[in-house]
Structure 1
């Protein structure tokens, strides 16, 4: 079961990029906790606290695609450094803001969110450049799994500082840690020599085509990624999942705050994240294609089963009694996100992957921004159980959306692969290729789409000459270094 991970971490720079990208986004889970305690202490309202927390994520959402395009064009290390510095300054300003000026925290949070470190989308766009085959499956699972370590330790650290020193000191600490992570990630990008743009995928060379065909190809290449149904479904699905997860995090914070015991956040949030960590680790080690709808419905069910045990439905003697159920509830979260990110990595054009993950970051940020005031209002009006029920409903919607991914992915497969050819002259041969030719067999997600849902997924790697066998790497950039295993040249790099 560990063979995938052994091959993966033998690839040069993968481990360094993964660790430093996680360090650069360490502040993310703790930020919502610190902001909620700070603003709720100022105003006495969870709705206003959720509004400020949502402003942070909305700011990140507004610039996700733009930062993705900037990263695709190169100098991603400089982008990370600039964002890290400005974001830290914004957090420090919020931490020093007087309580009487609480309303300033809304525009300040929005402006600070514009400079949230884009480590997640940059690193996720890098994984297909560094890995393929089972390694790519393992790296997306490894990232989704190790990211849960952030959701274990960041809430523990943040809640501990809030309990003993106050939310202002917690914000200052998160800002410093975020800056240190951004600097380390930028240096890791330079050492791996992946700060430049990715080379676009190329189909086989064919004779020149008429100008009309070339113009149509050029238009398709430059059009927005939002015109691709499969990508839009993935963006919406991930946004709804994150909305539910963030909503559940805020429910845990509100429950602990109502009990007057902030230290409960450390335990409850960490146990929930630990369940996700275990589930992701097991999913990444398993062979075979992941079934995304099954994982998504499992995640929704996991949150829904918590509702009967929360106030005002039930009043447990201590919240610690729910920890075993919280662990089980989290098991499907990381596997679901890993499968969705892997599907996106295979579907997006190679030279626009960072932009695609930028749109995904935008969708996730919008989902988190909506979750703040929505969950706060549900908790204010219906209690802790009402907030959890809303979170379960959001994840259930994402599971329903996942049922349509196969159909949307297969509908534009050959067309979009042709449009992504570097030379418009290559378009005709790709468009005329056999419809039976699969898209990309180099990854778990493509295999999932081909075998489980019957549709080939991927804009890249469509061959005009012959179909590819699943598991065989497609034409593309040469691997940086061999891994010493079959069919694996050399993951992502964001989440």
Structure 2
């Protein structure tokens, strides 16, 4: 079962690029925790905390495709460095903000989010360039799996700093890690020699046109109009809305009990389930079953609902950890399957742009989930916010049925054209 991973990490530069891209993204899972605790400390409102946290992700969403096109043209190392420096500065400013100016947190978060790390979209666009065949599916599974390490250790570190020194110090720490990760990832890109434009690959989707036909030479249509990519982007928007809503639910649950240390345990157990599921799925040979994984993710989170207040008031949230572990098992495998489909479906010279649209979809989903889940938690309790996240995941699962069907139709048309 481990043969896929052994072949994968024997490919030059793969391990270095993966490791440093993860360091550059380390701040992401902990950022919502730190921001939520800080804004609730200022205002006492989860709704406003969700708006501020959503503004960060909305900022990243607005520039995802633009930064992808910039990376496709070359100079990705410089792009990473500039974004890392500006983003770290924005976190420092927010950490030093006086509570009386809480109303300025939204525009500051939005402006800072514009410079969030592009490491995820850049490195995901590189995998088809560096790997082939089973290695390609293995690297997407490995990335989705190792990314779960961030959701294990970033919440632990962030919540620990919040518990002992306060949310301001946690933001300062995340700013330092974001800057250090950006510098390391930029140097890894230079060592690997992949900062330039991607070479054209035979057999990939054409650059022009959403479906590859009927476009004037040199004309570039939006990848959102691609018959498969558009559905995958919509799926990711809803999936991330569900995942971010779950994160906010965990934070609210711990904060209502005045015990921020519970965030470390609950979020880490959920991420640990995803880590285990991702490791197993990456080692198994054969193509992933996207629809099955999507519905498994939805079912897993639905199992958590009966254990949440006000439906059930457990003596301690720790009693729900086995169910949270089960809920996480399908998360990384599902994300890996989606990223693999995007990498295979996007034109070779526009992959960073495609993953930029993925970042946009995820950012919009997170921006919607923050205030929506926060408002439902304020009005209907923890279970109310969780119910909305289950609904978002269910709609994403239904869309996966159409995405698989459209991909099969597209492949069939291509095969007829070749013959």
The interval holding the TM-score normalised by the smaller chain is: over 0.9
1:218 offset after TM fit, Å?
3.8
Q: Distance in 2 between matches of 1:215 and 1:299?
A: 36
In structure 2, relative to structure 1, the CA distance for the partners of 1:262 and 1:215 (3 Å cut) is: closer
In structure 2, relative to structure 1, the CA distance for the partners of 1:196 and 1:218 (3 Å cut) is: farther
In structure 2, relative to structure 1, the CA distance for the partners of 1:42 and 1:411 (3 Å cut) is: same
1:407 offset after TM fit, Å?
2.7
Q: For structure 2, which runs of at least 5 residues remain unmatched after alignment?
A: 205-211
Q: Which residue of 1 is the match for residue 173 of structure 2?
A: 173
Q: Which residue of 2 is the match for residue 54 of structure 1?
A: 54
Matched, 1:314 2:312: yes
Q: Which residue of 2 is the match for residue 343 of structure 1?
A: 341
Q: Distance in 1 between matches of 2:54 and 2:131?
A: 35
User: Does the residue aligned with 1:390 lie in a helix, a strand or coil?
Assistant: helix
Q: Distance in 2 between matches of 1:215 and 1:69?
A: 22
Q: Distance in 2 between matches of 1:300 and 1:383?
A: 20
Q: Note the alpha carbon deviations across 1:416-470, whole angstroms, 9 max, x for none.
A: xxxxxxxxxxxxxxxxx751x7xxxxxxxxxxxxxxxxxxxxxxxxxx4x7xxxx
Matched, 1:112 2:99: no
User: Does the residue aligned with 2:381 lie in a helix, a strand or coil?
Assistant: helix
In structure 2, relative to structure 1, the CA distance for the partners of 1:202 and 1:3 (3 Å cut) is: closer
In structure 2, relative to structure 1, the CA distance for the partners of 1:43 and 1:86 (3 Å cut) is: same
- Aligned pairs for 1:246-257 within 5 A: 246-257=244-255
Which segments of structure 1 move beyond 6 Å, counting only runs of 4 or more? none
Matched, 1:323 2:305: no
Contact 2:64 2:357 in 1 (8 A): yes
Q: Note the alpha carbon deviations across 1:103-149, whole angstroms, 9 max, x for none.
A: 11000000000000100000000000000111011100000000000
Q: Which residue of 1 is the match for residue 296 of structure 2?
A: 298
Q: For structure 1, which runs of at least 5 residues remain unmatched after alignment?
A: 205-213, 416-432, 438-463, 467-495
Q: Distance in 1 between matches of 2:27 and 2:268?
A: 15
User: Does the residue aligned with 1:404 lie in a helix, a strand or coil?
Assistant: helix
Q: Which residue of 1 is the match for residue 141 of structure 2?
A: 141
In structure 2, relative to structure 1, the CA distance for the partners of 1:48 and 1:203 (3 Å cut) is: closer
- Aligned pairs for 1:339-418 within 5 A: 339-412=337-410
Q: Which residue of 2 is the match for residue 271 of structure 1?
A: 269
Q: Which residue of 2 is the match for residue 195 of structure 1?
A: 195
Q: Which residue of 2 is the match for residue 25 of structure 1?
A: 25
Q: Which residue of 2 is the match for residue 41 of structure 1?
A: 41
Q: CA RMSD in A?
A: 1.6
1:219 offset after TM fit, Å?
4.7
Q: Distance in 1 between matches of 2:84 and 2:182?
A: 6
Q: Distance in 1 between matches of 2:203 and 2:354?
A: 21
Matched, 1:63 2:63: yes
Q: Note the alpha carbon deviations across 1:22-71, whole angstroms, 9 max, x for none.
A: 00000001000000000011011000000000000000000000000000
Q: Which residue of 2 is the match for residue 101 of structure 1?
A: 101
Q: Give 1:332's match in structure 2, choosing from 330, 346, 353.
A: 330
**Which has the larger share of helix?**
2
1:412 offset after TM fit, Å?
4.6
1:201 offset after TM fit, Å?
2.6
The normalised TM-score by structure 2 is 0.96
Matched, 1:5 2:5: yes
| Greater CA drift, 214-223 or 391-400 | 214-223
Q: Distance in 2 between matches of 1:224 and 1:151?
A: 32
1:408 offset after TM fit, Å?
2.1
In structure 2, relative to structure 1, the CA distance for the partners of 1:28 and 1:129 (3 Å cut) is: same
1:81 offset after TM fit, Å?
0.1
Q: Distance in 2 between matches of 1:375 and 1:219?
A: 45
User: How many pairs were matched up?
Assistant: 412
Q: Which residue of 2 is the match for residue 261 of structure 1?
A: 259
Q: Distance in 2 between matches of 1:220 and 1:285?
A: 41
Contact 2:81 2:186 in 1 (8 A): yes
Q: Which residue of 2 is the match for residue 126 of structure 1?
A: 126
The normalised TM-score by structure 1 is 0.81
1:221 offset after TM fit, Å?
5.0
1:229 offset after TM fit, Å?
1.8
Q: Distance in 2 between matches of 1:414 and 1:193?
A: 36
Q: Distance in 2 between matches of 1:39 and 1:70?
A: 34
Q: Distance in 2 between matches of 1:14 and 1:381?
A: 47
Q: Note the alpha carbon deviations across 1:221-244, whole angstroms, 9 max, x for none.
A: 511112212100000101111110
Q: Distance in 1 between matches of 2:412 and 2:26?
A: 39
Q: Distance in 2 between matches of 1:6 and 1:129?
A: 19
1:217 offset after TM fit, Å?
4.4
Contact 2:224 2:233 in 1 (8 A): no
1:406 offset after TM fit, Å?
2.5
1:289 offset after TM fit, Å?
1.5
